[in-house]
């Protein structure tokens, strides 16, 4: 059972991944098949588990100021900065539509 082009396009938009070629898509299909094996287990009436650590205690921190004040250090990571601001493009640059992208998915 193949994943449709619409879903692949949607995934590329959401996660900004590039499946690049048929091998990439094939790997995705195999991963889905592998995960689908979970459906073979009957889980009626069983509470879903998020993590094996779900019984651990969630640590609560006191409301004290213990961090911050490291502007210079943080800005060292910035490719571009203006005074003490990070610089970003004016808005999200949307991934071009499928027809306009140079992607292997077009051929599908």
Instruction: List residues near other proteins by CB under 8 A.
Output: 10, 14, 16, 50-51, 53-71, 74-75, 77, 82-92
Cα three-residue angle 69-72-76, rounded to 5 degrees? 135
Q: Which is nearer to other proteins, 22 or 32 (CB)?
A: 32
**To the nearest whole angstrom, how small is the minimum distance from the Cβ of residue 55 to other proteins?**
7
**To the nearest whole angstrom, how small is the minimum distance from the Cβ of residue 53 to other proteins?**
6
CA distance 18 to 65: 42
CA distance 67 to 4: 47
């Amino acid at each position: 059972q193949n994943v449709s082009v619409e879903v692949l396009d949607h995934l590329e938009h959401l996660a900004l991944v590039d499946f690049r070629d048929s091998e990439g898509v094939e790997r995705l299909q195999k991963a889905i098949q592998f995960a689908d094996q979970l459906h073979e287990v009957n889980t009626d009436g069983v509470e879903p588990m998020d993590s094996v650590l779900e019984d651990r205690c969630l640590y609560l921190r006191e409301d004290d100021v213990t961090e911050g004040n490291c502007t210079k250090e943080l800005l060292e990571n910035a490719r571009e900065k203006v005074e003490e601001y990070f610089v970003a493009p004016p808005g999200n640059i949307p991934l071009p539509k499928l027809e306009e992208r140079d992607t292997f998915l077009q051929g599908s």
